[in-house]
Amino acid sequence: MATTYETPIVYTQDAPSVPAGGTQAGQYPLYTFYGSNYLPSRTMYVKDGDTFKIPLSNADGGDGGGTQTSVNYAGTTNAADPDPAEANASQGGNQSNGSLWTHTVNASATPWNDNETKWYFFADSGARTVRVEVALIEISSFTGAANTVNQGSTLVFTLSGLTGLAAPVSGNGAANCLYVTIRDSSGNLVTTTGSSGITWSNAGSNGYIGKMQTTSLTNTLTVGASMSTGSYTCRLMHFGGAQNWVTNVDGTTTFSGGLVNNPFYGTANQLASFSFTVNATGTVSGLNLGANYNAGTSLSAVLERNSGTITCDPTTFQPTSSVSNQTGAANAKQRLGGTTNNFSTADLVLSNGQSVDFQMTGPAAYSSHTIGRLTIAEDHHDLRIDTGADPGSGGGTGGATSGAYGLKVTNSDGDQLFGTGFKSNVVILTDTRPALAHDSTETFTLPIDAADNTSSKVAIVIIDMFTTTSQYFINWPSWTITRSGNTFTVKNFSGNARPYKYVAIRI
């Protein structure tokens, strides 16, 4: 929201060592309202759309004052910086003591590319000078890690693309901060901390106000175990000077106290916000991925299992589901049960009665195992895939060919080409299909038992047959295969209709 600020009077100061007429360092002392505290190196912060008004005076500001009853504008550091509206075309100008020097910020205008402007003023032929520095705070995003958080859990807020904020000052934690605060659904500031309220990992002197700086762009909010459930908003603000600086917010001058114009958490200084819901904590039951799997001699077997229906207690509890690799390259992933979403390692937030599809990969070597884990709230289930010994690739020794029975076809060298101990590839179903529209599916029935319809026993190969010689046709194949019973379903998600051939190979 655009805000109009009017600061207290800025006074010129005595005894610069260099006469007026230039902008050399030290010639114009920086005017700060807070000394070494919140704004040690800036006069004020603003955001895009804000209007700021700064009264200048050569009268007594504590050092006796000067003789001239007006103040001269001496320009900016860089001629391209924005000047006050009251400056003349030559980057000069003069106004009587107490007059306002004003500007409205347009962040997309070139003069604000460096996110700051510095205005230089003098009086009494340069015997008294002062400069004001106004920094434009901009961000590209401010987000929370999730839209829901359970009581007793944490939520990480992340800021990116920050420009205009001065660097932290060693030994002064209050300097150059942005502030994050929490409001409830009625707009009230949450000031309770601890187990019934909030805790910030990087907090100000008041624990309910979190801080962010150029060197710390995340802040973790811990939601107390007994904090009230419901909707909340996290707001990100820049420091905004004292309350009476704010004279207008989005066209209104009616303020609801500090909630609007407090210098730390007032919405007049708000840069961004993120809404989230605090849910009740609880427990889950029903998680079961079934028995471990022996892939035999199939390497890199991909196994999919459903978690079973998850029951939450209380039913309003929304548990987080996550996956992890416990042993080997298990490549554990998940998706919401009953969907055809892509499997992902990203966390899911479940509701009572939902389930999770869990996917993992078996070892890429013989006589090995991988273990993947599915964790939902306080419960977890580990699933293990084992591979057997190398069956050998022929000859008279080792593996499955060493038995006293079986069938073996060899070539003239005695190398086995077919039979027991030799893993063949037998096409059991294939067809060339006409173009399948984008986001459409086709289902086919395999001539095998449902129990054999796994990736380690039947490879389903999709051969994309879309042909084009145009280099400007920018779609590419994106097929998904899902298995159910003794059927499999092919889905085209490439963005255009494509013919294809499927080959189901018993391996």
Considering only residues 236-265, where is the footprint of other proteins by CB under 8 A? Answer: none
Exposure pattern of 164-174 as b/e (b: 16+ CB <10 Å)? bbbebeeeeeb
Instruction: Tell me the closest approach of the beta carbon of residue 414 to other proteins, in angstroms.
Output: 11
Return the sign of the alpha-carbon dihedral for residues 273, 135, 176, 37.
Answer: negative
Single out the residue of 174, 419, 433, 435 in contact with other proteins (rule: CB under 8 A).
419
Residue 113's closest CA among 164, 43, 178?
A: 164
Q: How many residues bind other proteins (CB under 8 A)?
A: 78
* Candidate residues 364, 367, 378, 440; the one interacting with other proteins per rule CB under 8 A: 364
CA dist 39 → 44, 50, 128, 353, 405 (Å): 7, 18, 23, 52, 87
Closer residue to other proteins, CB minimum distance, 266 or 421:
421
Q: Decide if residue 85 touches other proteins (CB under 8 A).
A: no
Among candidate residues 288, 282, 362, 280, the one with its CA nearest the CA of residue 325: 362
Choosing from 144, 168, 286, 391, the residue that interacts with other proteins (CB under 8 A) is 391
Determine if 437 is a binding residue for other proteins (CB under 8 A).
Answer: no
Q: How far is the CB of 390 from other proteins (least distance, A)?
A: 8
DSSP code string of 332-366: -EEEETT--PPPBSS-EE--TT--EEEEEE--SSS
The residue (of 89 and 472) whose beta carbon lies closer to other proteins is 472
Q: Verify binding: residue 35, other proteins, rule CB under 8 A.
A: no
Which region, judged by CB under 8 A, interacts with other proteins, from 129-137, 179-187, 190-198, 465-473? 465-473
- Which of these ranges, 127-135, 316-324, 348-356, 467-475, lies near other proteins under the rule CB under 8 A? 467-475
Residues 279-318 that bind other proteins (CB under 8 A): 294, 296-302
What does 70-124 look like in DSSP terms, one character per residue?
EEEEEEESSTTSPPPTTS-TTS--EEETT-EEEEE--TTSGGGTTSEEEEEEEEG
The verdict on 440 binding other proteins (CB under 8 A) reads: no
Residue type, 39: L
Strand order in the sheet with 230-238: 148-150, 270-279, 230-238, 178-184, 210-212
- Closest CB to other proteins among residues 205, 471: 471
Choose which of 427, 440, 443, 495 interacts with other proteins (CB under 8 A): 427
Question: Which range, of 82-90, 127-135, 202-210, 468-476, touches other proteins by CB under 8 A?
Answer: 468-476
Q: With respect to other proteins, which residue has the nearer C-beta, 182 or 490?
A: 490
8 Å CB contact between 130 and 11: yes
